[in-house]
Amino acid sequence: MKKLIFLFAFCIVVTNVFAQTAPEQLKKEGNDAFNAKNYPVAYAKFSEYLKQTNNQDSATAYYCGIAADEVKKYAEAVTFFDIAIQKKFNIGNAYARKALALDAQKKTAEYVATLEEGLKVDPKNKTMVKNYGLHYLKAGLAAQKAGKAEEAEDCFKKVIPLDHKQYKTNALYSLGVLCYNDGANILKKAAPLANSDADKYAAEKAKADGRFKEALDYLEEAAKISPENENVKKMLPQVKAVMK
C-alpha cells in the first residue's frame, strides 16, 4: 500500500514539472525581462504568453514586437506590430516600428507603404515623418543624378506635405532647381528657332517661362519656411533674372 501511494505522489510531481506556465506568470516574467533589457527572454516569454492567450493583449504584442526587433527577429516583429495596429494600441509608434522592421528586411515597397498608411493615422509622428521624408529625398536625388527628372520631381513633391522644416525646404529647393534647369534646357534647344521659326520659338519660350515660374514659386515658398537657407537665397535671384 505504501508503494502505491509513493508512485501516485511521484506521478503528481512529474505532471507538475511539465505543466504549462500560467499565462500571467509568463507575462510577468516577460515584463521583468523587458525592463531589464533582457530582450531574448522577454521575447520568449511574451510570445508564449500571446500564443496561450490568442494574441488578445495588444500592449504585450507591441512590446513583444520591440523585443523581437531587438533580437533581430524582424519578420516576427512585423507580425506583433500588426496585432497592435489592428487593436489600435499606440498605433502611430506601432506603424513606425513595423516600417523599420520591414526596412531591416530590405522590403522597401512595404516599408514605404507602411509609412504612408501610418502617416494617415498619425501625421505628426516624428519617426515616420523623418523616415518617409528621408526616403523620398534620397530617391529624388538618385533619380535626378540618373537623369530621370520627372521621377525626381514626383519624389520631391511627396515630401512637401510633411511637417518637417528641413525636409520641406530641401524638397522645395530641389524642385526649384529641377524646374529652372528644365526651363533652361527648353530655351537652349529652342535657340536655333529664334530666327528660322518665330512662332515655334515663342511657343517653346512660353513653356520655358512656365517652368521658370514654377521654380520661382517653389523657391519663394522655401524662402518663407527657411529664410536663412543660403542655397535658396543664391538661387532666387538667378531665377528672377532669367524671367526678365
Give the DSSP letter string of 139-208: HHHHHHHTT-HHHHHHHHHHHTTSS-HHHHHHHHHHHHHHHHHHHHHHHHHHTTHHHH-HHHHHHHHHHH
User: So where are the chain's domains?
Assistant: 23-121, 148-243
Does the domain spanning 23-121 belong to CATH 1.25.40.10?
Answer: yes
**Averaged pLDDT for residues 58-67:** 98
Measured CA to CA, the distance from residue 92 to residue 59 in angstroms comes to: 13
User: 101 pLDDT exceeds 90?
Assistant: yes
Split at pLDDT 50, 70, 90, the class of 2 is very low
pLDDT at 194 over 90: no
pLDDT-derived band of residue 195, with 50, 70 and 90 as boundaries?
confident
> Band of the pLDDT at 243, cuts 50, 70, 90?
confident
Report the pLDDT value the prediction gives residue 120, as an integer from 0 to 100.
97
Judged against a pLDDT cut of 70, whether residue 1 lies above it is answered with no
If we measure between CA atoms, which residue out of 75, 102, 174 comes closest to residue 116? 102
For residues 118-127, give the mean pLDDT: 97
Helix (H) or strand (E) holding 29: helix 23-35
Domain 148-243: state its class. mainly alpha
Contact, 33 vs 42, CB < 8 A?
A: yes
- In the Cβ-directed half-sphere of 123, how many Cα atoms lie within 13 Å? 6
Question: How many Å apart are CA 122 and CA 117, to the nearest integer?
Answer: 9
Q: Could you count the other beta carbons within 10 Å of the beta carbon of residue 121? A: 14
Domains 23-121 and 148-243 share a fold: yes
d(CA 144, CA 231) in angstroms, rounded, equals 17
- Which three cell numbers mark 196? 528660322
Which range (5-9, 31-35, 63-67, 207-211) has the least confidence? 5-9
pLDDT, mean of residues 133-154: 96
Mean pLDDT of 114-142: 97
Q: Shortest CA distance to 173 belongs to which of 198, 149, 195, 156?
A: 156
Q: Is the pLDDT of residue 244 over 90?
A: no
Q: Identify the residue with better confidence: 14 or 172.
A: 172
> Counting Cβ atoms within 10 Å, is residue 175 exposed (0-12), middle (13-18) or buried (19+)?
buried
Alpha carbon distance 142, 166 (integer Å): 19
> pLDDT tens-digit profile of 146-192?
999 999 999 999 999 999 999 999 999 999 999 999 999 999 999 99
